[in-house]
Amino acid sequence: MLTCSCFSQNINLDKVYSELNNYKANKAISLLEKIDTLKATTYDKALVYYFLGEAHLMNDNHGIAYKQTLKAKVLFIKTDSIKNVANCNINILKILSHQNDIKIETESILDELKQYASLKNDYKALRSIYYRIASNYMDEEKGNLANEYFDRYIKLSQKNKDTLYIAYGLMNKGSVFNDYIKNPDSALYYFKKSLPVFFKYNDTQTIAYNYNNQGKAHYNLKDYNNALKYYLKADSIQIKKNIPKSELVFSKNLYEAYKGKKDYRNFSKYLERYIQLKDSINDINQNIAISEIKEQYDNATLRAEKAEDEKQILIEQRKKEKNKNVALLLGTLLLFGTILFFLLQKNTKRKQKLAEQEKELETQKLATILKEQELSAIDAMIEGQEKERQRIANDLHDDLGGLMATVKLHFNTLKEKQTPELYAKTNQLIDEAYNKIRTVAHAKNSGVIAKQGLLKAINEMANKISIANKITIDVIDHGLEKRLENSLELTIFRIIQELIANIVKHAKASEATINITNHEDSLNIMIEDNGKGFDTSKILKNNGMGLHSIEKRIEHLEGDIKIESQINQGTTIIIDIPL
């Protein structure tokens, strides 16, 4: 998402802004290059240069991105647009972070951002500062100091309730543990902890990087099978920006993992792909270009911009002198016409807006009423089911159990009139029937959800299935210290129970994981297995494996479900339920 304001004075940049937000960098560049900057204001020129920098950064053209962003910064300084100067500084740091072994100091940029953050109390700028300082310590291989600043980054994001950036901070801590502290087990903990948030926000770019990082951690543990599993997941995701360099990293990791596994056919395949990508990306030339641009702008940029502005002012003065009389007459007529048109248009738009708002409010009100009625019906149904089960249990125990005990007493009186063998057999059958009734009554009357809670029920289910079905099921929970509402726990338990049953029946998996995270305002459930996987398009189209009933239950809870699976690559199911 872009950070710079796109409010222009004379040119329309809305289409450019839209293309960049959709990661269509080449279309944005094409639109920007058609704009005549000679006729634009200084502020509008700055916006054009800024967006060109954004677009070329998406395409990994860092030399051009650096040049355009510096030009934008100079013009924003001239227009006293300090917020956009800060945005330029943040982008410059981002551009430099993509380059290896570049010799450009960043202290002055950090100092400017610190002053801005202090003056405007802008937490996003301060967050960028913490990130940059942590990155510098990573470059110096000082892992503990890097983690100290990532902790500040996370704490600042928590204070501002910015869930996505908390997850970014956690993932960066995982990278420090993996690459600098050399503790891949701790790295995996942070990678897995942050992953559900990226799924929640549909951040496919970071999901790919997270999978790649998990693969690298498994590689450091010499677990090449799991390393390949996560590397292939990362490589299969269609990312939207920084595509060449990302593919270069994925290819390098894949050929190293195949080499570790001694699979030389695939090793050769990805090594060749890596070499082709590396030839197309030349960091050395980009570093030289950036350094040359920096030197040019340190010495000549301000001077050149000043000369251009003076030339523009001279041209405009001559035009004004030539057309002064005509402009006065036309300007007066235009002014009255414009005022009248503006007032009419404003009044019409105001009426339209009010009508649209009233209509939207009515629609929302109706939708809310229908949803409340639907939820009430579901709650009543679940509560009724539980009461009916309780009633059946009580009837079995109190009525039929008592009756069978009485029948037994009556049969005792027949001892003298019947043969001993018949009596013994009859008595044995009655005892057996009575014990079965007690067993059913106790089983029906002692639901684990009501007594022990959701987490305990899931753990017990996982343990029983693990013992009985030769599959290891791990349960990982975060934030479930307090109980949820009883009917909600019951519904969630049944959803998880059905999904685990599908794994046991169909997946042929040896391992499965149930992740449950309470984010206070939502509950995230992620169930993974290493089974045979399936074609999601076919299964979902045919409502296979009981997924239709699961989807209905989640829909009633106003949640959503995502299913990711590939043949022989296992399955991941992610469920988000608002609380």
Q: Is 366 exposed, middle or buried (0-12, 13-18, 19+ CB in 10 A)?
A: exposed
- Mean pLDDT for the stretch of residues 371-381: 51
Write down the pLDDT at residue 246: 87
For residue range 236-294, list pLDDT tens digits in order. Answer: 998 887 788 888 999 999 999 999 989 989 999 999 899 988 877 655 455 545 555 55
Write down the pLDDT at residue 181: 92
More confidently predicted of 391 and 356:
356
Write down the pLDDT at residue 374: 44
* CATH fold for domain 1-100: 1.25.40
pLDDT band for position 370 (cuts 50, 70, 90)? very low
Write down the pLDDT at residue 166: 95
CATH superfamily of 449-578: Histidine kinase-like ATPase, C-terminal domain (3.30.565.10)
Task: Choose the most confident range, by mean pLDDT, from 91-105, 131-145, 195-209, 343-357.
Answer: 195-209
Write down the pLDDT at residue 517: 93
Task: Choose the most confident range, by mean pLDDT, from 211-220, 388-397, 549-558.
Answer: 211-220
Query: 114, 302 in Cβ contact below 8 A?
Result: no
Kindly state the tokens that stand for 339: 């005022």
**How much is the mean pLDDT over the chain?**
80
Query: 562, 573 in Cβ contact below 8 A?
Result: yes
For residue range 14-59, list pLDDT tens digits in order. Answer: 888 888 888 888 999 999 888 888 888 899 989 999 999 989 988 8
Strands 472-478 and 511-518: parallel
For the chain, domain boundaries = 1-100, 387-448, 449-578
pLDDT band for position 211 (cuts 50, 70, 90)? very high
Among the ranges given (53-67, 316-330, 452-466), the one the predictor scored with the smallest mean pLDDT = 316-330
Write down the pLDDT at residue 335: 84
Among the ranges given (150-154, 284-288, 395-399), the one the predictor scored with the smallest mean pLDDT = 284-288
**Res 232 pLDDT > 60:** yes
For residue range 342-360, list pLDDT tens digits in order. Answer: 888 888 888 888 888 887 7
What is the Cα–Cα distance from 460 to 274, expressed in whole angstroms? 47
pTM score, whole prediction: 0.41
